[in-house]
Amino acid sequence: MSDKTILIVGTYDTKDDELNYLADCIRGQGGQVLSMDVSVLGDPSAPTDYSKHDVAEEGGSSIAEAIASGDENTAMQIMARGCAALVARLYDEGRFHGIIILGGSMGTDLALDATAALPLGVPKFIVSTVSFSPLMPPARLVADVQMILWAGGLYGLNSVCKSSLSQAAGAVLGAARAVERPQSNKPLIGMTSLGKSALKYMVPLKPALEARGFEVAVFHATGMGGRAFESLAAQGAFACVMDFCTQELGNHIHRSRISAGADRLTNAGLAGTPQIVAPGCYDLVDIVGWDDLPEKWVNHPRHDHNRLIRSIVLNNEERRAVAQAHSVQMAKSQAPTTLIMPLGGCGEWDRPGEDLNDPEGLEVFMQELRKTCPENVSRVELDCHINDAAFAEQALAIFDQWIADGVVRTSP
């Protein structure tokens, strides 16, 4: 159990005692430690494995340049750039198995860059005085980062902060020992959806795709799930994507904080990955349930999904904007792209008799899709609902034809 090495990163000039305590906890559990200093002005009590000079130089700069800037933000960005580059290189060289970074707001800013430099499946822990704070934009949080609030840890060791640090030490070492990195011997299909109460196509599709020799990962399209999906798509991780819940695109253009970013519905196509697209739950914008209701939504029908998520029902003009956004994003694709348009509805709650049933609004959206769909996209219209068996059957028919034509790769 002593063969796992944890890289500890922090400003050793101001947090020397805390970082050394963290190292002692890891060693006490049989782990090994590498240390990296990202300070600028001061020095650690003892040399670290990677000095602040090593860090700055890895990013193409120097400590002298950071100090000469006379600006703490500029200096820390120099260190963040070097830290991210050094962390990535050391991991590629097999020097460590997990990383833990300690900091206040400065160290956390650097930590977000450093963890983003590592692939999915590498244990990444940030122990921060601002963990879970809205100071951190969701776009900078990588899919598998773990955070622990460093309570009582602003200055010096005490029994309160030791509780956080000792748990963090056990967590990162345990994760490094237990992690099963994504190394499937099957090609991977990326699929987007919401829960089964809204979208049900994954129930028949997942086993059908697995029977064809593929692995299937379904991403919850509530902002962070879409970010993880797009991140992996950009890396070329998928053999094909079935992007059947594009609601996050509507969230983004209508300025909800529950956004997967401006690149939603682009990265698979830009990476050359074939994609089948459908506008699942296009008619809703999810907003933060505990926020005050923005003025623009006051006169809209809405549904409180739970205390975290509130769904706003879009009007016709807003639906047109969502349709146009689909076309703009799909036009960027450099891979085979097929859009399936289920004319009977795109979410369980818009069926006849249900609260969100709106045949006029649905037709407005579909008509705008017809009008704006780019030439690089094949369009299939189905006289069914997205949750009907016919939708899943059509998706499989397209997929099977792509396999026959060699469009979808059948090896990892």
- Per-residue pLDDT band at 32 (split at 50, 70, 90): very high
Quote the distance between the C-alpha of residue 392 and its chain's center: 26
pLDDT in tens, 40-93: 999 999 999 999 999 999 999 999 999 999 999 999 999 999 999 999 999 999
CA-angle at 354, arms to 384 and 252, nearest 5°: 80
Please determine, for residue 362, whether its predicted confidence score (pLDDT) is greater than 80. Answer: yes
- The pLDDT of residue 155: 83
- The pLDDT of residue 2: 58
Q: Which domains does the chain have, with CATH numbers?
A: 5-178 (3.40.50.12020), 188-404 (3.40.50.12030)
Please name which of 123, 114, 230, 248 lies closest in space to residue 180, comparing C-alpha atoms: 123
- What lies within 8 Å, CB to CB, of 188 at 6+ separation is 214, 215, 216, 217, 237, 238, 239, 412
Rounded to an integer, what distance in angstroms lies between the CA atom of residue 60 and that of residue 301? 54
Please determine, for residue 183, whether its predicted confidence score (pLDDT) is greater than 80. Answer: no
Q: What is the CA radius of gyration of the chain?
A: 24
- Contact assessment for residue 192 and residue 229, using Cβ atoms and an 8 Å cutoff: yes
- Per-residue pLDDT band at 1 (split at 50, 70, 90): very low
Distance set, CA 93 to CA 4, 96, 114, 131, 175 (Å): 14, 8, 16, 30, 20
Q: Average pLDDT over the chain, rounded to whole?
A: 95
- Per-residue pLDDT band at 184 (split at 50, 70, 90): confident
Please determine, for residue 217, whether its predicted confidence score (pLDDT) is greater than 60. Answer: yes
Q: Is the pTM of this model over 0.75?
A: yes
Please name which of 118, 81, 107 lies closest in space to residue 18, comparing C-alpha atoms: 107
